[in-house]
Amino acid sequence: MKLAAKLTVAALLGAIPSLVLADPKPRSAKPVDPQKIAEIYAGNTDIWANNCSGGIYYAPNQQARAWCGENSESLGAGQWKIDSNGRMCHQLSWYWPDGDGAGESPGDETCISHVVDRWGTIWRSWPDDPEWWQLAGKFSGLKPYSGMKEGYKFHKKVVETRSKLGL
């Protein structure tokens, strides 16, 4: 399996919160206002729950950066957006050491669906996953789940890796 494919799989699996139980889609679910989703993601890092010790940062300017300690010589860089159906989509290209430069492999676009239930809890689901995971709700003041951290948590690591790769 190519490194880019491994990193994409790690990103998808790592994004699923391991400490929160999944549920079926709430019956009262309806689309979430895209602005509300943007408020949750923009300027925050979604920490991947697997053993990769990394995550993806969603910059307010729609740029996305991903880094995983397990593959610390590699990084993902791309963009993110929210569509009118409440899906937050990101597309990353993965970079890794390749001789004196950097190899590059564009990844597929990944879209995470979002809905809100009648109590104001926002849920998300990954592609091909029938389960829904609580993202934010009235009991947390619409603050994101604990895996979403404020700020760019891996900025220093991304800058170091980008420099090593000559990007």
**Coil, strand, or helix at residue 38?**
helix
> Of 50, 16, 54, whose CA–CA distance to 158 is shortest?
54
Q: Which token pair is 162?
A: 């980008």
Res 9: pLDDT: 45
Q: Could you read off the pLDDT tens digit of each residue along the chain, which spans 167 residues?
A: 455 544 444 444 444 443 445 567 778 889 899 999 999 999 999 988 777 889 999 999 999 999 998 888 999 999 999 998 899 999 999 999 998 889 999 999 999 999 998 888 889 998 888 888 888 765 455 556 667 888 999 999 999 999 999 98
Res 145: pLDDT: 65
Res 109: pLDDT: 95
Cβ–Cβ contacts within 10 Å for residue 118, how many? 10
Beta strand pairing call for 87-98 and 110-116: antiparallel
Q: Which token pair is 155?
A: 């900025």
CA count, 13 A, side-chain hemisphere, 85: 6
Res 10: pLDDT: 46
Residue position matching structure tokens 């979604």: 46
Q: Is-above-0.85 flag for pTM? A: no
Instruction: Detail the DSSP E strand segments found in the chain.
Output: 30-31, 44-47, 54-58, 63-68, 75-82, 87-98, 101-106, 110-116, 122-125, 133-136, 148-150
